[in-house]
Structure 1
């Protein structure tokens, strides 16, 4: 099989069915009729001599062969698209793109509102999907093209993944204003002894393991009393507003999540390293003008005080 005899549009169809898991949704994404998409799938099956997808209820499940080639297919499509755009003058107002971002809830709350305001004004044709990605999967998700950009804490990556520091934050402690031990107005300059003398809520997406604040305390030989472990800072802020538990969290998100609860915010009573966030993208997207433009906007917004 020679590439000159291959319809490259078929690979776009393959990627759409893989991404959507459904013929109807894939046809809608590509703006093709279902018969046209089914015909393209039949050609793909003949070309590769493999079923490629097996129907399981309403879902088209990829075969092992499809899973083995999808990364290379997506890398090729990304390179083709970047080549097509590299010589063109980029106009964000005329761009029609759908970007998939890897964001934790902390970054969703801080970055999405100002980013959507900016897009509505400067790039109304851009659509976004925000998903949670495990740190161990960042490289594979960017490599496969499942994600365009990821905002996460610093992690080691191969040379194929480019990254840039996007923000720097610090830990703060939240307590309710009527805390029985810290006074009627809370405590804006909490000592380490006061901090360790209280009970705490820990926010983590993991079922077990220490939080960043516990790692810092452990280095100094300290341990706090955690009576609640939950998944989201917003829920933890409400718990703090109605109990004497303390919550330790990043300062930028604290100003947002705590807005309706009016808990007291004080500095974390131990000198710690700053909390950095890095923006990640694949090398194949480096010269994609739309990706580069969105990266610039994200970095500018992340460096804007009090998002």
Structure 2
């Protein structure tokens, strides 16, 4: 089969192809497109020649698609829908009919907080929508949003450029996770025992304090970090097998429970973890992204 360059094909031929496929008739497709029947037949002949396939065979009054046509129809419809969306601009977004992949920047600890609820909602309201979650360095967040490689980011409050919009998403209290048979698990966790214990810090950075350490420092306290690791699941597994303590957002602790660990209240008053949505101002009025932001906000 020959390889074709899209620039060598009149894209209007695919509009005719989709109409014939939908109507099962050249006559009805011509009526739908407000074209003459000879014009539709001529367009089909040109596309047959370019693709080297009959695309449709006549059975009685119906035009029946060939296997090649059945293979083409979904990609063609998705492409036409995308082009129509570009042309209509602010014409709206229909979640139930959408075929699209949204790209979100989520740090590893936030995926378990955001994705379960978001994907349940999409399954009900927008079954044709997919999501890709990736990690973007905070220094690259603005440029990645500006380049259109990212639709939405969720992170702690960050200093951002004027072209980046932000909206508060939720405040998440911090809790402490420890082994179920840990000596400190028999009663409420005290500040003294919390500070004497050794801790796990989850961070993608090689050095520097965690967000909870900033809060502790402001209150005049300091804790001992025995392990610095990249993912909360690894930290939880380590806590379940050692005497280390893990401080983490409550929603994450409850989303990823382990049978051999318990959750205790943080024995010092620290500000909750504040999460924000970030997007580029150029995407402020994009109907699809406006809908996505609204659903993320509702789901939390």
Scaled by the length of structure 1, the TM-score of the pair is: 0.68
Give the Å deviation of 1:35. Answer: 3.9
- What is the CA distance between 1:129 and its match in structure 2? 0.9
Partner of residue 177 from structure 1, selected from 180, 204, 213: 180
Deviation at 1:38, TM superposition (A): 8.9
Kept in 1, the 8 Å contact 2:107–2:155? The answer is yes
Q: Deviations over 1:44-76 (max 9, x none)?
A: xxxxxxxxxxxxxxxxxxxxxxxxxxxxxxxxx
Give the aligned partner of residue 148 of structure 1: 151
Partner of 1:287: 285
Specify the alignment match of 1:203 in structure 2: 202
Cα distance in 2 for partners of 1:230, 1:261 equals 21
Contact 1:188 1:267 in 2 (8 A): no
Aligned to 1:217: 216
- After the TM superposition, which residues 1-307 of structure 1 pair with which residues of structure 2 at under 5 Å, given as runs? 35-36=4-5, 84-86=88-90, 88-180=91-183, 182=184, 186-187=185-186, 189-257=188-256, 259-302=257-300
Counterpart of 1:30 in structure 2 is none
SS in 1 for 2:209: coil
3-state SS, counterpart of residue 189 of structure 1:
coil
- Judged with a 3 Å threshold, the aligned counterparts in structure 2 of structure 1 residues 280 and 242 are, in CA distance, closer, same or farther, namely same
Alignment gaps of 5+ in structure 2: 10-83
Q: Is the contact between residue 187 and residue 266 of structure 1 (CA under 8 Å) also seen in structure 2?
A: no
- Report the Cα offset of residue 203 of structure 1: 1.0
Q: Quick one: distance in 2 between partners of 1:84 and 1:109?
A: 36
Q: Is contact 1:82-1:288 (8 Å) kept?
A: no
Shift of 1:82: 6.3
Output the CA distance in 2 between the equivalents of 1:34 and 1:120.
36
Q: Conserved in 2, the CA contact under 8 Å of 1:237 and 1:261?
A: no
Residue matched to 1:9: none
Asked if the contact 2:152/2:278 (under 8 Å) is kept, the reply is yes
Larger radius of gyration: 2
CA contact (8 A) 1:170 1:251 kept: yes
Which of structure 1's runs of 4+ aligned residues deviate more than 4 A? 37-40, 80-83
Cα pair distance change 1:237/1:155, threshold 3 Å? same
Q: Partners in 2 of 1:140 and 1:110 — Cα distance? A: 25
Q: 1:101 deviation in Å?
A: 0.7
Question: Is the Cα–Cα contact under 8 Å of residues 164 and 278 in structure 2 kept in the other structure?
Answer: yes
The size of the alignment, in residue pairs, is 226
Aligned partners of 2:87 and 2:158: how far apart in 1?
Answer: 29
Check the 8 A contact 1:187/1:264 in 2, yes or no. no
Summarize deviations over 1:195-240 as a string: whole Å, max 9, x none: 0121111111111111112222222332222211111111111111
Summarize deviations over 1:252-296 as a string: whole Å, max 9, x none.
101122x12341211222211121110011111111111111110
Secondary structure at the residue paired with 1:202? strand
Q: SS state of the match for residue 291, structure 2? A: helix
Contact map agreement 1:152 1:277 (CA 8 A) in 2: yes
